[in-house]
Amino acid sequence: MTLSRFLSKTTTITPVTMGSEYKPPASGILTSPDRLRKIDQLREKNIDVILPLPTLVAVGDQSSGKSSLLESVTGIPFPRGQELCTRYATQITHRRDPDVQIIITIIPAPQSTETEKASLRSYRKELSSTNELRDQFVKILDEVNVYMKIKTDKNPEGEKTFSRDILKIEKCGPTEDYLTVIDVPGIFRLTSKGQTTEGDRHLVRDMVTGFIKDKRTIILAVLPANVDVMTQEILALAEQYDPDGERTLGVLTKPDLVIERSAKEAVCNLVAGRKKALNLGYYLVKNRGGDDDDDSDDDSGLRQKEKDLFQQNPWCNLPQERVGVGALRERLQDLLGEITDKAYPELRSEARKKLTEARDQQDALGPPRQTEREQQQYLAQIAAKFQRIVRAALEANYSTHSVFDEHSVRLITKVVGIIDTFNNRMRRKGHTYSFVKVETGDSDDDSASKVDDSEQEDDSDSEDEYEAAQSNDAHYTIVGELFPELESIINIVEQPEFAVKDDNRDWIRSMYLKSRGIELGTFSPIVLASAFRDQTTKWGPMTEYYISDIIIGIHTFILSVLKTICADGKLFEAIKSIIMDDLLARYVNSMNYAKFLVQVEREKKPYTVNHYFSSNLQKSRGDRVSEALKGKRHYDNRCHSPATYLVKFDQIKSAITNKSNQDHAQEDIHDILKSYYKVSRKRFVDNIWLYAVDHHLLSGPNSPLTLFSEQWVLGLDEDSLNAIAGESRSTRDKRKELTKKIADLEEALRILK
Ligand code: GDP
Ligand code: MG
């Protein structure tokens, strides 16, 4: 029989009022009604989703009569049928409540998505009586099939044959007792073509075992009396999960269909316990049969029919407490009470354990970041921490955070090292041509170098340092791969040509000759300017090279620190991607400023107010006079200490007037250039440090280090904030689930007290 046929069949069931329904014996027989009531309260709070509560589950082969049995026991018209009727588990709960009503909802399968869960939870039907339920049952089941996406003739868009969602029917009323039963799809052995697959078979088996493996579940093994009990798979399955048979109850259905006398005898042997196959024994009940459907029997009519049947031979000889729905129901409540008593202390400890677990999981998720404010606070906290580390890094206060264990993160030390190297390189190799060292005669060694290395004021720094800097090249290529975003900003590929040319005189001469005008005894200032430009061609590439190095250092610092302080990779990536453009713009600013300083220094007309220029120049000029007089001096033997030289007065005149105009001009150009270059170079390196590095990259208000700050967080719009600090859907769902779980478990513990 198909579902639709079954549904059409149920409509013919004669309505019964609640009042006329079967009444169980007074609950005084329960071992502990208080506890059962508490279990019921827990179920009311949906705690059985987290904590399996004592339950009755009817299991058996297809068409063994499970649904019919549960209808007999609960008075709820279950979906019944010979074929695939029960496509999902149905939980019927009785609840004592002043209001008489039936509430139908769906408990989503735990593995459903949040959207599916929301849709399933939105289903709710409230009915005032069993009559109304009967009237609407077909319609309700059709709706449920749509919600659970079950494929039927009426719902061809459905995707599945079976669902793990649970249909929950709550029967409330002042006389209801504490009984919860679950009807599950029947176990089928053969898969029928077009209807059920091997996958379905596994799913159903899995669902059934999911219910019966819990030791708080009473297994109602439903077996049709008209077939050989021993062939029923369910008994083996029940034994697997309840080896001692402490909670497996055999229920034999369809006694009215047993015809042969030998078959009847076999059933009687089981029920009377003469053939001990189950610890808790067998019960014999008669449910609404196919033929009963045509009768307009209500529940009491059916019970009467059952009663009549059991008065016949051989059933009348069976122990009365083992036959009939009434007896079974009594026993079930009894059993439920026992199981509950046993489970009670365990339930408490389990709830406590689950609560601890849930709280731990919640802690692991960190503070909630759902609302704009929560996200802002979360992000501002991280930004504040970042700024604290930046401050420590600029003050070389490295003991404050373990992030500094990594040496590349020791920012200021690294930057100062790079600036020092830059300064040294500029001093030793920044100029294109060497300046001439004028022989003053202070030294007796005439073969002394003609090249001035006075630029090397401080020779203490060894070549090793430069080598060390050079060996950074390998590091640079790696960095280039690591930070492709920096590629267009930094210039580390082109190494500046570091060799200094020695042909200074020729260069100055050619410079002079090229730009000579008709000046008398002097030279055009243009010569000086272009000579200076020639002398400083390496400044640009050298500066870019070292600024690049510093930018890489800062970038490494920012990313390493961010990565360390962000709890998860997703957050780090989100912050990184949203600050990146601004960060790069700030690097570009610094680089552009450095280029601007180079340009200004090289292209302005050489000028300075620094008095070192004139003292340098005067020293050069003095040196030249000394050099010219060197050959004309003689030793003054009257003074031994210190050694003193004497020059005749008229020789001075000839010595300094003995030069051609051209020589004189060239010497002047050289000396002025040399004095100016030195002043300019120092000024330039200092400016690079102060403006391009310190202000633009380190401590200025717009340095890349100040970007990720609390201020920045406060300026974020809602969307960006959510994109960075918002929780992923799954985290949010998880948090929501945990919050509810914790509240439920706390409530459970309160109830179980
Ligand atoms: P399920 O698949 O295990 O849920 O079985 P159902 O409850 O749907 O029952 C299958 C068929 O057996 C239905 O047509 C029922 O009316 C019928 N049935 C169940 N119990 C009895 C019974 O005790 N006597 C008779 N005659 N028919 C029964
Ligand atoms: Mg069924």
Summarised one tens digit per residue, pLDDT across range 626-636 is 887 877 777 77
Other CB atoms within 10 A of residue 730 CB: 10
The residues pairing with 166 across neighbouring beta strands, listed in sequence order, are 89, 107
Q: Which one has a higher pLDDT value, 611 or 195?
A: 611
Residues 327 and 379 in one domain: no
Going from the Cα of 681 to the center of ligand 2, the distance in angstroms, rounded, reads 95
Query: If you search the block for the tokens 């478990």, which residue do you land on?
Result: 745
Residue having the nearest C-alpha atom to atom 24 of ligand 1: 254
Query: How many Å apart are CA 251 and CA 64, to the nearest integer?
Result: 10
Q: What pTM was computed for the model?
A: 0.56
DSSP per-residue string spanning 47-103: GGGTS---EEEEEEBTTSSHHHHHHHHH-------SSS---SEEEEEEEE-SS-EEE
Model confidence at 646, pLDDT cuts 50, 70, 90, reads confident
At 93, the pLDDT band (50, 70, 90 cuts) reads confident
pLDDT over threshold 70, residue 18 = no
Domain-embedded: residue 61: yes
DSSP state of 148: T
Neighbours of ion ligand 2 (CB under 5 A): 66-67, 86
- Ligand 1: which atom is nearest the Cα of residue 255? 23
CATH code for the domain in which residue 348 is found: 3.40.50.300
Ligand 1 pocket, mutate which of 2, 9, 13, 63 (most atoms under 8 A from CB): 63
| Ligand 1 centroid – CA 9 distance (Å) | 13
Among the ranges given (96-110, 447-461, 641-655), the one the predictor scored with the smallest mean pLDDT: 447-461
Using a 10 angstrom Cβ sphere, with 0-12 exposed, 13-18 middle and 19 or more buried, the burial of residue 457 is: exposed
Question: How does residue 519 score in pLDDT terms, banded at 50, 70 and 90?
Answer: low
Residue nearest to atom 23 of ligand 1 (CA): 254
Report d(CA 601, CA 611) in Å as an integer: 18
Token pair belonging to 586: 């700030």
Among the ranges given (118-132, 179-193, 686-700), the one the predictor scored with the smallest mean pLDDT? 179-193
Q: Are residues 539 and 396 in the same domain?
A: yes
Residues with CB under 6 A from ligand 1: 60, 62-68, 80-82, 85-86, 186, 253-254, 256-257, 286-290
Check residue 14 and give its pLDDT.
Answer: 26
Q: Give me the pLDDT at residue 405, please.
A: 85
Based on the domain organization, do 355 and 378 belong to the same domain?
no
Summarize the confidence of residues 703-712 as an average pLDDT.
95
Give 578-628 pLDDT, tens digit per residue: 999 999 999 999 999 999 999 999 999 898 999 999 998 998 888 888 887
Q: Whose CA is nearest to atom 26 of ligand 1?
A: 289
Q: Does 732 score more than 50 pLDDT?
A: yes
Residue 29 has pLDDT above 60, yes or no: no
- Give the pLDDT mean for 220-238: 83
More confident residue, 665 or 751: 751
Please check whether residue 625 lies inside any domain of the structure. no
Does a structural domain hold residue 265? yes
My answer on whether 129 and 253 are in the same domain is yes
pLDDT surpassing 50 at residue 311:
yes
On the question of pLDDT at 5 being above 50, the answer is: no
Residues 100, 206 within the same domain: yes
**pLDDT score at 393:** 95
Summarised one tens digit per residue, pLDDT across range 403-450 is: 888 888 899 999 999 999 999 989 988 988 888 777 665 544 444 345
Q: Which one is predicted more confidently, 199 or 351? A: 351
Same domain, 545 and 690: yes
For 103-108, what is the mean pLDDT?
92
Q: What is the CA radius of gyration of the chain?
A: 48
Which of the listed residues 141, 256, 257, 287 should we mutate to test ligand 1's pocket, taking the one with most ligand atoms within 8 A of CB?
287
Asked if the structure places residue 649 within a domain, the reply is: no
Give the N- to C-terminal CA distance of the chain in Å, as an integer: 49
Rounded Cα gap, residues 384 and 49, in angstroms: 42
Protein residue with least CA distance to atom 9, ligand 1 = 65
Q: How many domains does the chain have?
A: 2
More confident residue, 701 or 114: 701
Ligand nearest to the CA of 68: 1
Is there a single domain that holds both residue 231 and residue 315? Answer: yes
Residue 434 three-state SS: coil
Claim to verify: residue 161 and residue 189 sit in the same structural domain = yes
- Mean pLDDT of all residues in the chain? 81
Helix, strand and coil in the chain, % to nearest 5: 60, 10, 35
The ligand with the least distance to the CA atom of 80 is: 1
Span of 10-19, 65-74, 484-493, 518-527 with lowest mean pLDDT: 10-19
Which one is predicted more confidently, 32 or 399? 399
Q: Is residue 260 domain-shared with residue 386, that is, in the same domain?
A: no
Cis ω before 541 (30° cut-off from 0): no
CA–CA separation, 683 and 608 (whole Å): 10
395 and 247 share a domain? no
Residue closest by Cα to atom 25 of ligand 1: 289
Cα–Cα dist 59/639, whole Å:
128
Domain enclosing residue 87, as ranges: 3-360+745-752
C-beta separation of 378 from 368 below 8 A: no
Cα–Cα nearest to 290, from 80, 67, 69: 80
Specify whether the CB–CB gap between 120 and 112 falls below 8 A: yes
Whether 387 maps to a domain, the answer reads yes
Residues 455 and 485 in one domain: yes
Which has more pLDDT, 322 or 627? 322
Same domain, 325 and 467: no
Residue 173 clears pLDDT 80, i.e. is over it: yes
Asked, for residue 715, whether it belongs to a domain, the answer is: no
Residue 3 has pLDDT above 60, yes or no: no
In the predicted model, is pLDDT for residue 87 greater than 60?
A: yes
Indicate the pLDDT class of residue 346, thresholds 50, 70 and 90.
confident
Is residue 50 in a domain? yes
Q: What is the pLDDT of residue 327?
A: 92
Can you give the pLDDT at residue 189?
A: 63
Q: How confident is the model at residue 337 (pLDDT cuts 50, 70, 90)?
A: confident
Q: Binning pLDDT at 50, 70 and 90, where does residue 193 land? A: low
Distance CA 587, CA 134 (A): 75
In a domain, 657, yes or no: no
